[in-house]
Structure 1
Amino acid sequence: MFQSDFGLKDGAVSAMKGVALGVSPDLGLYDLTHEIPAYNIWEAAYRLEQTAPYWPAGTVFVSVVDPGVGTTRRSVVMRSKTGHYFVTPDNGTLTLVAQSLGISEIREIDEAVNRRSQSGKSYTFHGRDVYAYTGARLAAGIISFAEVGKRLPDTVISIPFQSAQKNGNTISGMIPVLDIQYGNIWSNIPDSLIRSLPAAPGDSLNVSILHKDSLVYQQRIPLANTFGDVPEGKPLAYFNSLLQFSVALNMGNFAAAYNVSSGPEWNVRVSSVR
């Protein structure tokens, strides 16, 4: 399973897949996404967490969002407690899956062994030369997890972020990502926390969105089951496919309308109006 910020305009993704098939033509190669915004490690971390639980144990994820390529940052494989493998630079990409899936073991990739032949002079495409190659060898059973390299302490570099929490009648969280195709705002606040206000579809909620603690949006909006529960162009709050609190405009683009983006600097606050 491949993820990157390479896009599909050139041959980078194809080169990684070619390396993997060169290791074993029997491998199943799939794409998570190659449309991570350039250098956006946080979004890479989120997309892994969004996707990995739906894939079977033993799946190998190769995630390459690597602005530090060629530097001293570590190249690792993390095995989660759910039995998934993540091949990636240890630069924050593992922030969320390490927390939600748990760390079983982490190993540093030994590039003396696990690197594409005759690629040592290349410093800027480890996705092809190290990660795709190592991930394919691991997935094909050519190497065991122990043969990836030396075992490391069970910690990863993590990106700080606002976890979902309740304080009195107010719930706070962050906007980890946009539902980018439609401009909907996704938070990391689980439905159970919203329901504890208490709140249920049909109720109104006070919703505030902040960037670096500066207020960007504030309005009372209805909590709905789905978009068509409000008139076209009107705002609504809802629980997305991950059962997390989200905000949208029915048949509109909330993010564009209110200049909202995502990442650790974007936060949301929700309170009941009962």
Structure 2
Amino acid sequence: MPKQYFYRFILTISLTLFSNILSAQNKIVVFQSDFGVKDGAVSAMKGVAMGVDSSLKLFDLTHEIPAYNIWEAAYRLEQTVQYWPAGTVFVSVVDPGVGTDRKSVVLKTKAGHFIVTPDNGTLTLIAASEGIAAIREIDEAVNRRKGSEKSYTFHGRDVYAYTAARLAAGVISFEQVGKLLPDEVVSIPYQKATAENKKVKGTIAILDIQYGNIWTNIPADIFKQLDAKVGDDLHVVIYQHKIKKYEGNMPYASTFGAVAKGKPLLYLNSLLQVSFALNMDNFSAVHKVYSGSEWTVEVSKR
């Protein structure tokens, strides 16, 4: 190999390795949990992180996940992670199985984000949307807050915040998190968005909780296969565990004000996914429709 090509090869490899190291060292940690902020749990996690490196930049995704709701934790990650720079480390603690044999892991996405969490279904959606670059099981013999070995019920503080801070600060590399695992995660079954027989189907991924709007996982590119135009009337059926909970017709609208107060509409939300609302009212509360993997929808043209 000519010298100039050899040196170019070495430089390329070196830059790639350096880039990989830096991607885990942007010093940003984002926290998510079902803890709420009524006590000191969130502050304790942040205190552990600051104890690793006081120059870390700590942010909150949310701490208002309903207790034990792993599906919503999965959704909030998918909703948010894509907007943060590569190298950001997320800590997601919705962990009803804390202290059991469920794995504590760090997933690196193909986009270069890191998710520190129990592998209990929390990674269902982000693994599908961003892809898995690698997953490592946290070695708690190394990556655990000193003196916490006898604590079994607060891994968010003792393992996840500590490991995330060390990774974000560059104290450890991703390889030092622990052993490499197969590229698969515990997944919650759900209806993926599909289009067939002049009908689109999907899951009610989440509620726009402040207003009670219904957000599905049906993206615009699948919805467009209905060939629906703004103003068209669409037929909507909603099921829970395959039991019909709602059926009705509503126009496809671009704004809430396109229909009268209290009337239903179908629109594309800020993530460009099919959603349902009552103008200036609460669709969820009025029709007793909620979110989760057991809630499915079908939309067709009238």
Q: How does 1:170-189 map to 2 (within 5 A)?
A: 170-189=199-218
Q: What is the correspondence of 1:262-273 to structure 2 with a 5 Å cutoff?
A: 262-273=291-302
Percent identity over the alignment?
67
Unaligned runs of 5+ in 1: none
> Residue 103 of structure 1 is aligned with which of 132, 139, 145?
132
5+ residue gaps, structure 2: 1-29
Shift of 1:173: 0.7
- Pair member with larger Rg: 2
Of residues 47, 57, 64 in structure 1, which corresponds to 2:76? 47
Q: CA deviation at 1:104?
A: 0.3
AA in 1 matched with 2:41: A
Provide Cα deviations, 1:148-195, integer angstroms capped at 9, x if missing partner.
011111111111100011121111111011111110000011112222
> How far apart, CA to CA, are the structure 1 residues paired with 2:266 and 2:202?
14
The question of 1:158 aligning with 2:152 is answered no
Is 1:64 aligned with 2:93? yes
SS at match of 2:223: helix
2:269 to 225, 229, 240: 240
- Quote the offset at 1:235 in angstroms: 0.7
Distance 2:223 2:88 in 1: 33
CA apart distance, 1:272: 0.7
- Pairwise CA RMSD: 0.6
Aligned equivalent of 1:259: 288
**In structure 2, how many angstroms separate the alpha carbons of the residues matched to 1:229 and 1:32?**
32
Query: 1:117 corresponds to which residue?
Result: 146
Structure with the larger helix share: 2
Q: TM-score scaled to structure 2, two decimals?
A: 0.90
Equivalent residue, structure 2, for 1:6: 35
Task: Tell me which stretches of 4 or more aligned residues in structure 1 moved more than 2 Å.
Answer: none
User: Hey, what does 1:198 align to over in structure 2?
Assistant: 227
The answer on whether the counterparts of 2:195 and 2:223 sit within 8 Å (CA) in structure 1 is: no
| CA displacement 1:7-37 (0-9 Å, x = unmatched) | 1111000000000011111000000000001
Separation in structure 2 between the aligned mates of residue 49 and residue 182 of structure 1, nearest angstrom: 21
